A and B are shown apart, each in its own frame.
Chain A
Amino acid sequence: MKQTYEEVEETYIKTLKGRTALKRLIKDMAKNRKQTAILIASVMITAIAATFSPLAIGGAVNGVASRSFSTIFDFSLLFISLALIQFGSNRFRVISSTILAQGTVKNLRDRSFQSIQHVPISFFSKVKAGFLISRMTNDGETLGEFLTFQIPSVVSGMTTVILSIAIMLYLDFDLTLYALIVLPFLSIFTISLQGKVRKNYLRTRRTIAAITGNLAENISSIRSIKAFNVESYTEDKFDGLNADNLNANIKASRLSSLYGAIVRIIEYTGIAIVVLAGAIELKAGLISIGILVAFIFYVQEFFDPVIQLSQLYNSYQSSIVGVGRIYGIIDSKKEVVSDGQITISSLRDSIVLKNVSFSYDDSNALRDINLTIRKGENIGIVGHTGAGKTTLSNLIMKFYVPQKGEILVDGKNIMDINTESYRNLISPVLQEPFLFHGSIYENVKIADPAMAEEEIERLAKEFNLNRIFDKLPEGMETNVGELGRNLSEGQKQAIAILRALCRNPQIIIMDEPTSNIDPYSEKFIFQSLEKFAREKTLILITHRFSMISLVDKIVVIQDGSIVESGTFPELREKKGIFSQMYDILYGSKGEGID
């Protein structure tokens, strides 16, 4: 059973992982030694300067009392110098804390992004894109804020707490114990709320994730929403999630405000206890009045950071879950297949699939496939929708690893071959062409960044693709928009084909490359491809036969198995499945229709 989002995160916080993530984060941050040192030094200098400031005022006041101008002058100078020092050290503090915080966030984001480029492709069918995006952007943002503002206050808070306890102990041991008497109560109170705080926090996190996910979905399916006239349903659905989030947040903030209020009562009670105990000791003659007065001031000094630190615990939780998740992305297993040691620079003989079986989670996609693709062979893979044709190309591209059987390239197991060198030989035209935001030139150039624009145009002409781009007023300068949305599906496919051909690959894999291109243009494209493909190894996946003239051999797949193979005349002769499919396509109207 799949765990819910909340359960996963809950186990995450509960287990030690949260603490490990924190340790790792601190380690990562401390790698920037110089800035860490500057931060600590500047925080401490600020604290010391702040402690001395009242002394300077006191000195100046003494000067007034003793009627000494020079004393007033000296201490005023000291006071303004201390202010200047604080100005300077605070400036360093702000800058170094930003460098540390935002630098760490940048580093985490960059590393996650790198990791995404190397995880197995199957990773993306398990993890939502929205999840990854929200971890890297949203959680990164929360962390950045937490680190920028809270780390310095933790450092200075700790310094103050330690200093005040030391001074209090020095002043009077018993009174210090009285002062600390509320601490266990404060801790018990804080800890006892943790379960609730965590639950609230998880609820806000889950509800905001639901909002983000829903928004992402709404944005990407906006056309369908309008076309199907379900605006108000969309609004209602979103409103439900939005209200959930509102309620979760209100609940959480009610608890945290209540917590803050009770902590304040505890704080004042602490002060009252010290005053009371001090008064009793004073009455008994155990301490002097001077010590007691000083003590009362230090107790106040001490409580401020303690309360700040205890409230910090909440935002600590929200950041640390995010950090753990980001580390989760960074640590995702790399594509095992990229570990292959053998690099290849060309296909010498053949690609052989031996008893290959593959299934996605529960459905069987391919069973016992045996197929030999020789160098220079042009092979067509045909079959009905869902027969497993695309899966086959995914396996050959090494996007997936077969669960049974093996794929041999020139006799070597594909697993032992360096993926980069292998993919370098292949140009794919995928079923759904993917385009980057940018011009057509830019999209083609990813095949070969050094390629001149004239050369791209020449190739477009050579493959008769230019007639498709010529319709665009800006030609190949046209910006394709996000995912190529400014273009028609056919134009997108044409770009994908051009990109594949510009790479001048040894192997071309085309998966329904022209399904959205008009037959007239298609014919031209195929005519020019014929010559090109003769020198290459071509794997053409299709359920249409307009391009069958390109291939020497046809393999028919049905329900995940190869059922027929041979040349076109052979298969026609055989009057099997292929022949039947062909007849339906080119047969008379009504045949094969129920």
Chain B
Amino acid sequence: MSENKKSFLKKIKGVFEPLLFSREYLKNKKWVIYLIIGFAVLSTATRLLVPIIIGAIIDSLELKNFNAIYLEIEYILILAVLSALASFVVNFGAQYSSQIYAYNLRKKVVNSMVKKKTKFFQDKTSGDLLSRTTMDIDASRNFIMNSLSQLIPTILIIIFAVGYLFYINMFYSIFFLATVPVLIFIGIKFQRKQRPHWMKIRDTYGVMTESIQEDITGQRTVRSYLQEEPQIDKFTGITDTYYGEYLEVANLRGFYNNLMPFIISAAATAVIFYGGYTSIVARSEVGGLVAAVNIFTMVTFPVSFLGRLIAFSENARAGIGRIKGVLDRDMDEDVLTGGDFPGSNAISLRNVKYKRGDREILKNVDMEIPSESFVCLTGETGAGKSSLVNLIPRLEDPAEGEILIGGVNVRDIPLSSLRKNIAIVPQEISLLSGTISENIIFGRKNITEEMAKKAAKVARIDDFIEGLPEGYSTIIGERGITLSGGQRQRVALARAIASNPKILILDDATSSVDPETELAIFSRIRKNIAGITVILVSLRYSAMKYASTVYELENGEICELENIDGLNYAMEKEGFENEADL
């Protein structure tokens, strides 16, 4: 029994869940909510007073009491001002709070997103994340705005109606009260039935965003392989699902949402019937009966509005469920206290194991990279080279083992200090839409335009940039000029070296740069950044020539290649025909 009661309460609570969720984001705006409630009462009161004054006017007209009419017209005008004021406060207050809610929620989502473990992003698609942070937030914001502006007047009108009904005739109010459990039952059923559909709608919206993005990114492949039609079919399938789910909701809404006012009408019929019968028997006045029936018709709209609110609430709930998926999960574990970046930048990896899902990528890695060296990490495609270097600035954490810099475990160095001193240039380059200089500086306050220019020079992209009509202010990306693969890589490289890092990791970061330029860049890095340790991940012998040591990753372990420098390694592997020329 109490179990049932609990689940019943839980179901009712479900409708208000988005409101409960919003409390955290409206913490400092409680006064706005109180203001809205206060003025909602005023607004309802003025709304109820209008028919009363009109009634009085009609009475005065019947009596031809013109003085009274003038007075009553004044009342209407006063009422107009009051009602306008109340509606302004309620509407503006509701919009204001809902916007504050969206603002705070978005802020929190972004803050938690940038602090998440990179692991979190592995199985998420950007289209889906985007729809979670935009449309899903908007769905819940919409519900909050509607409930703040309408819920209170609606409930007040219903309460007033019941009270007035009770005042006219207690039996009439029983008829009304009898409908309440039925309405709640319908409401809950409605809510439960449409729940899966709204969840599907919100998910499908994410999938839709995702598929458009994928299609646009891959247009060249789509066209080369004549995939236009299959892509269209796939997309149409998604919009079909979306449309179908909306139709399901409409079917439910059409039935349940209209059933609610119908129940009220049925109760009104019963009142007419019962009231008519008793009036005839008791030979009483009909005035009370007319008023009672009018009240019933007056509440039909609020009741059906409540039904609509249930629909909105499910949409909001489904959205909130998805937003919660990006909040507070898989956060980077930072060290809040603790020391600075160590003085020495020698790197040691001890017994490092790393897994991605169930896939064991690094089995047992032991490595000693001396301070101020230039070393190369190589290995077959898919050997785990990128995974290994990502462990050093803690973009990922190993499953076992430890990584030390200058003898200090990286887990004991605050992330900000760790990543400030270690620069990594990934394979997959993401440049922002903005100027070249913005892309090199990348929001770091300690980097000046001068440093950016110097970095561009080291990355050997300065000539190209200065050759552009707008130089470093040239906009790149979607709205600006298009860079070739090698140019993009060099801009990314400039970004990495602009901060004069102590450790630089180049994860096959120069694969699209021609070998001549590549070697020149390496030499400039050594010359210009004092005391830097460079880890070069590369597959190409030409690039390795500069390295003092080559580490080879095989089957998740490091093969010791001691006493062999890049040039000798390259020669050994390549078995040059023209070795004699060297």
Q: Provide 23 A-B residue pairs closer than 8 Å at the C-beta atoms, listed in order of the A residue.
A: A57-B293, A69-B280, A83-B261, A86-B262, A91-B258, A113-B236, A121-B223, A133-B209, A137-B131, A211-B134, A215-B133, A217-B433, A221-B430, A224-B495, A238-B106, A242-B103, A258-B88, A260-B88, A268-B76, A360-B482, A473-B358, A589-B545, A592-B516
Asked if B546 is at the interface (CB within 8 A of a chain A CB), the reply is yes
Asked if A519 is at the interface (CB within 8 A of a chain B CB), the reply is yes
Closest 4 CB pairs of A and B: A385-B486, A490-B381, A268-B80, A233-B443
Asked if A61 is at the interface (CB within 8 A of a chain B CB), the reply is yes
- Known contacts A237-B443, A446-B225, A491-B382; decide if A137 and B212 are in contact (CB<8 Å): yes
Q: Are B80 and A265 in contact (CB under 8 A)?
A: yes
Which one, A64, A118, A494, contacts B228 given CB within 8 A? Answer: A118
Which one, B242, B359, B512, B523, contacts A594 given CB within 8 A? Answer: B523
Q: Are B227 and A446 in contact (CB under 8 A)?
A: yes
Name the segment of B17-25, B53-61, B342-350, B365-373 touching the other chain: B53-61
Q: Per-residue CB proximity of A126-140 to B under 8 Å, as 1/0?
A: 011110110011100
Output the least CB separation between B533 and chain A (Å): 16
- Known contacts A80-B269, A91-B254, A447-B225; decide if A481 and B123 are in contact (CB<8 Å): yes
- Known contacts A76-B273, A385-B517, A473-B359; decide if A137 and B205 are in contact (CB<8 Å): yes
Asked if B81 is at the interface (CB within 8 A of a chain A CB), the reply is yes
Query: What are the residues of chain A within 8 A of B428 when measuring CB–CB?
Result: 223, 485, 489
Query: What are the residues of chain B within 8 A of A320 when measuring CB–CB?
Result: none
Q: Are A217 and B432 in contact (CB under 8 A)?
A: yes
A485 to B123 CA separation, bound complex (whole angstroms): 9
Output the least CB separation between B268 and chain A (Å): 7
- Known contacts A117-B228, A490-B381; decide if A220 and B430 are in contact (CB<8 Å): yes
Output the least CB separation between A188 and chain B (Å): 18
Q: Are A520 and B113 in contact (CB under 8 A)?
A: no
Query: What are the residues of chain B within 8 A of A41 when measuring CB–CB?
Result: none
Q: Per-residue CB proximity of A511-529 to B under 8 Å, as 1/0?
A: 0100111111110000000
Asked if A143 is at the interface (CB within 8 A of a chain B CB), the reply is no
Q: Are A430 and B66 in contact (CB under 8 A)?
A: no
Q: Are B92 and A254 in contact (CB under 8 A)?
A: yes
Asked if A264 is at the interface (CB within 8 A of a chain B CB), the reply is yes
Query: What are the residues of chain B within 8 A of A363 when measuring CB–CB?
Result: 481
A578 to B210 CA separation, bound complex (whole angstroms): 44
Q: Are B118 and A223 in contact (CB under 8 A)?
A: yes
Name the segment of B163-171, B174-182, B214-222, B401-409 touching the other chain: B214-222
User: Chain A interface mostly helix, strand, loop or mixed?
Assistant: helix
A473 to B73 CA separation, bound complex (whole angstroms): 83
A279 to B499 CA separation, bound complex (whole angstroms): 83
Q: Are B212 and A133 in contact (CB under 8 A)?
A: yes
Asked if B185 is at the interface (CB within 8 A of a chain A CB), the reply is no
Chain B residue nearest to A2 in the complex (CB): B479
Q: Are A246 and B484 in contact (CB under 8 A)?
A: no
Query: What are the residues of chain B within 8 A of A494 when measuring CB–CB?
Result: 381
Query: What are the residues of chain A within 8 A of B79 when measuring CB–CB?
Result: 268
A491 to B5 CA separation, bound complex (whole angstroms): 57
Asked if B34 is at the interface (CB within 8 A of a chain A CB), the reply is no
Name the segment of B7-15, B153-161, B186-194, B415-423 touching the other chain: B415-423
Q: Are A64 and B276 in contact (CB under 8 A)?
A: yes
Query: What are the residues of chain B within 8 A of A233 when measuring CB–CB?
Result: 442-445
Which one, B113, B426, B482, contacts A223 given CB within 8 A? Answer: B426
Query: What are the residues of chain B within 8 A of A424 when measuring CB–CB?
Result: 226
Chain A residue nearest to B508 in the complex (CB): A516
Asked if A587 is at the interface (CB within 8 A of a chain B CB), the reply is yes
Query: What are the residues of chain A within 8 A of B92 when measuring CB–CB?
Result: 253-254, 257-258
> How many A-B pairs with Cβ below 8 Å?
487
Q: Are B220 and A434 in contact (CB under 8 A)?
A: yes
Q: Are B265 and A83 in contact (CB under 8 A)?
A: yes
Name the segment of A101-109, A158-166, A455-463 touching the other chain: A101-109
Output the least CB separation between B68 and chain A (Å): 10
Chain A residue nearest to B496 in the complex (CB): A228
Output the least CB separation between B130 and chain A (Å): 6
Output the least CB separation between A253 and chain B (Å): 4
Output the least CB separation between B253 and chain A (Å): 5
Output the least CB separation between B318 and chain A (Å): 14
Q: Are B546 and A589 in contact (CB under 8 A)?
A: yes
Asked if A90 is at the interface (CB within 8 A of a chain B CB), the reply is yes
- Known contacts A121-B219, A121-B220, A233-B444; decide if A485 and B512 are in contact (CB<8 Å): no
Query: What are the residues of chain A within 8 A of B499 when measuring CB–CB?
Result: 228
Query: What are the residues of chain A within 8 A of B222 when measuring CB–CB?
Result: 117
A94 to B248 CA separation, bound complex (whole angstroms): 11
Other A-B contacts than A91-B255, A99-B247, A490-B381, 11 sampled, CB-CB below 8 A, are A64-B280, A127-B478, A133-B130, A211-B106, A223-B395, A228-B442, A229-B444, A264-B80, A397-B224, A423-B224, A521-B380
Q: Are A399 and B130 in contact (CB under 8 A)?
A: no
CB contact list, A57-83 vs B, under 8 A: 57, 60-61, 63-65, 67, 69, 72-73, 75-76, 79-80, 83
Chain B residue nearest to A237 in the complex (CB): B443
Which one, A98, A230, A436, contacts B247 given CB within 8 A? Answer: A98
Q: Are B107 and A239 in contact (CB under 8 A)?
A: yes
Query: What are the residues of chain B within 8 A of A102 when measuring CB–CB?
Result: 242-243, 246-247
Query: What are the residues of chain A within 8 A of B576 when measuring CB–CB?
Result: 586
Interface size on A, residues (CB 8 A): 178
A219 to B574 CA separation, bound complex (whole angstroms): 41
- The residue among B266, B520, B542, B573 with the most chain A CB atoms within 10 A of its own CB is B542
Q: Are B419 and A228 in contact (CB under 8 A)?
A: yes
A527 to B172 CA separation, bound complex (whole angstroms): 93
Asked if A378 is at the interface (CB within 8 A of a chain B CB), the reply is no
Output the least CB separation between A259 and chain B (Å): 9
Q: Per-residue CB proximity of A463-503 to B under 8 Å, as 1/0?
A: 00000100111000000011101111111001000010001
CB contact list, B348-363 vs A, under 8 A: 358-359
- Known contacts A385-B512, A446-B230; decide if A69 and B212 are in contact (CB<8 Å): no
Output the least CB separation between A217 and chain B (Å): 6
Asked if A349 is at the interface (CB within 8 A of a chain B CB), the reply is no
CB contact list, A257-300 vs B, under 8 A: 257-258, 260-262, 264-265, 267-269, 271-272, 275-276, 278-279, 282-283, 289, 292-293, 296, 300
Asked if A189 is at the interface (CB within 8 A of a chain B CB), the reply is no
Q: Per-residue CB proximity of B551-580 to A under 8 Å, as 1/0?
A: 000000000000000010000011010100
Output the least CB separation between B581 and chain A (Å): 7
A253 to B399 CA separation, bound complex (whole angstroms): 52
Chain B residue nearest to A245 in the complex (CB): B103
Query: What are the residues of chain A within 8 A of B259 when measuring CB–CB?
Result: 87
Q: Are B487 and A386 in contact (CB under 8 A)?
A: yes
Which one, A117, A128, A384, A586, contacts B517 given CB within 8 A? Answer: A384
Q: Per-residue CB proximity of A385-408 to B under 8 Å, as 1/0?
A: 110001000000101000000000
Output the least CB separation between B302 and chain A (Å): 15
Output the least CB separation between A579 and chain B (Å): 12
Q: Are A423 and B445 in contact (CB under 8 A)?
A: no
Q: Are B217 and A129 in contact (CB under 8 A)?
A: yes
A226 to B397 CA separation, bound complex (whole angstroms): 14
CB contact list, A535-583 vs B, under 8 A: 543-544, 581
Q: Are A218 and B114 in contact (CB under 8 A)?
A: yes
Asked if B540 is at the interface (CB within 8 A of a chain A CB), the reply is yes
Q: Are B443 and A230 in contact (CB under 8 A)?
A: yes
A229 to B419 CA separation, bound complex (whole angstroms): 6
Query: What are the residues of chain A within 8 A of B62 when measuring CB–CB?
Result: 289
- Known contacts A121-B219, A249-B95; decide if A588 and B214 are in contact (CB<8 Å): no
Query: What are the residues of chain B within 8 A of A24 when measuring CB–CB?
Result: none
CB contact list, B485-504 vs A, under 8 A: 485-487, 495-496, 499
Q: Are B81 and A265 in contact (CB under 8 A)?
A: yes
Q: Per-residue CB proximity of B227-242 to A under 8 Å, as 1/0?
A: 1101110011001101
Output the least CB separation between B549 and chain A (Å): 15
Asked if B91 is at the interface (CB within 8 A of a chain A CB), the reply is yes
Asked if B436 is at the interface (CB within 8 A of a chain A CB), the reply is no
A515 to B508 CA separation, bound complex (whole angstroms): 9
Query: What are the residues of chain A within 8 A of B205 when measuring CB–CB?
Result: 137, 141
